[in-house]
């Protein structure tokens, strides 16, 4: 469990190390986040803090939310998210959270976002089915094929992979390496879910203590070190 921030995906680019190695990164814009409320185990039954970001207009918010923001002494915010923390007493209502204070280069994070919506698609695009032969004279090419049985069970099983709405779902990508951190910009190695301009949640990685992730850090830490040296010079 750890603190996180709310940001916006700007897009992908690449940065270079001192040795000339190109590293693909995703740029995430992280404005100032505010601690809006604190959840305690005595009062709420669990430990967490409520974080908000992106300023909003009063007409777009409900009266309870407006009252909560005024009580916390922060500006009106559009996005809210609870993060489970071990010690909520380390934070104060109205506290500002900068991305440089939360994350540092060389650590692992998890990113949660809504994947790109692709509408209604067939089974070959949605589930990577192989399809039927493409030869001349064949009746079907991209059809789903048989989906059921005969008398027993006499129905289509629930959860059968078929054509349907593809994408626009919550996706979590784990174990991404933070390459660099600026004032309100976070550069993460690799890709993250969602379109450019989509809202994402950046959290401390929940799998950072796994053996595989520690080995990955040992393999890739030289990339971060070389990029930092290049920035300083």
| Domain identity same for 92 and 131 | no
Position 148 in a domain: no
- Cβ density class 104-121: b for 16+ within 10 Å, e for less: ebbebbbbbbbbeeeeee
Q: What is the CATH number of the domain that holds 37?
A: 2.40.30.10
In this structure, is residue 175 part of a structural domain? yes
Q: Give the percent of the chain with pLDDT over 90.
A: 72
One domain for residues 108 and 131: no
Give, for 203, the enclosing helix (H) or strand (E): strand 199-204
Would 137 be classed as within a structural domain? yes
Asked if the bond preceding 135 is cis, omega within 30° of 0, the reply is no
Residues 94, 201 within the same domain: yes
Calculate mean pLDDT across residues 113-135. 94
The answer to whether residue 25 is domain-embedded is yes
What pLDDT, on the 0 to 100 scale, is given for residue 228?
60
Arithmetic mean of pLDDT over the chain:
91
For 194, the domain range is 4-117+168-232
128 in the same domain as 139: yes
Q: What is the pLDDT of residues 127-174, one digit of tens each?
A: 999 999 999 988 889 999 888 888 888 889 999 999 999 999 999 999
Closest CA to 5 of 58, 77, 72, 63: 77
pLDDT digits (tens, 9 = 90+) for 211-231: 999 999 999 888 998 886 544
Q: Which two tokens stand for residue 28?
A: 């995430």
Question: Residue 229 in 3-state DSSP?
Answer: helix
Do residues 139 and 28 both lie within one domain? no
| pLDDT at 92 exceeding the cut of 50 | yes
Is 156 among the domain residues?
no
In a domain, 152, yes or no: no
Strand 120-121 versus strand 185-189 pairing type: unpaired
Identify whether 224 is part of a domain. Answer: yes
Pair 29, 139 in one domain = no
Let me know: does 76 contact 66? Beta carbons within 8 Å: yes
| pTM of the model as a whole | 0.86
Are 130 and 226 members of one domain? no
- 73 and 50 share one domain: yes
How far apart are the C-alpha atoms of 203 and 160, rounded to whole Å? 33
Q: Are residues 22 and 129 in the same domain?
A: no
Confirm whether 153 is domain-assigned. Answer: no
Are residues 92 and 8 part of one domain?
A: yes
Q: Where are the alpha helices (DSSP H) in 75-131?
A: 99-102, 123-127
Q: How far is CA 96 from CA 75, 136, 147, 179, 193, in A?
A: 11, 65, 54, 23, 26
Q: Does residue 105 sit in the same domain as residue 52? A: yes
d(CA 203, CA 78): 19
User: Per the structure, how many domains does the chain have?
Assistant: 2
Q: Give the number of residues written for the chain.
A: 233
Shared domain for 126 and 24, answered yes or no, is: no
Question: How many helices (H) and strands (E) are present in the chain, helices listed first?
Answer: 5, 12
pLDDT digits 0-9 by tens, 185-213 = 999 999 999 999 999 999 999 998 999 99
């Amino acid at each position: 469990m750890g603190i996180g921030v709310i940001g916006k995906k700007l897009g992908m680019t690449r940065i270079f190390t001192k040795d000339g190695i190109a590293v693909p990164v995703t740029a995430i814009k992280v404005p100032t986040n505010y601690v809006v409320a604190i959840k305690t185990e005595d009062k709420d039954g669990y430990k967490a803090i409520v974080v908000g970001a992106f300023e909003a207009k009063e007409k777009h918010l409900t009266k309870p939310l407006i009252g909560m923001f005024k009580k916390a002494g922060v500006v009106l915010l559009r996005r809210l998210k609870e993060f489970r923390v071990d010690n909520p007493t380390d934070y104060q209502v109205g506290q500002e959270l900068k991305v440089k204070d939360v994350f540092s280069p060389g650590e692992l994070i998890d990113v949660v976002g809504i994947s790109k919506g692709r509408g209604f698609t067939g089974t070959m695009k949605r589930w990577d089915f192989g399809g039927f032969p493409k030869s001349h004279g064949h009746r079907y090419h991209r059809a789903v094929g048989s989906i059921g049985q005969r008398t027993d069970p006499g129905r289509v099983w629930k959860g059968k992979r078929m054509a349907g709405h593809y994408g626009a779902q919550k996706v979590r990508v784990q174990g991404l390496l933070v390459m660099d951190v600026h004032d309100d910009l976070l550069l993460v190695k690799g890709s993250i879910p969602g379109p450019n301009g989509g809202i994402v949640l950046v959290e401390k990685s929940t799998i950072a203590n796994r053996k595989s992730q520690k080995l990955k850090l040992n393999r890739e830490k030289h990339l971060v070190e070389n990029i930092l040296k290049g920035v300083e010079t």
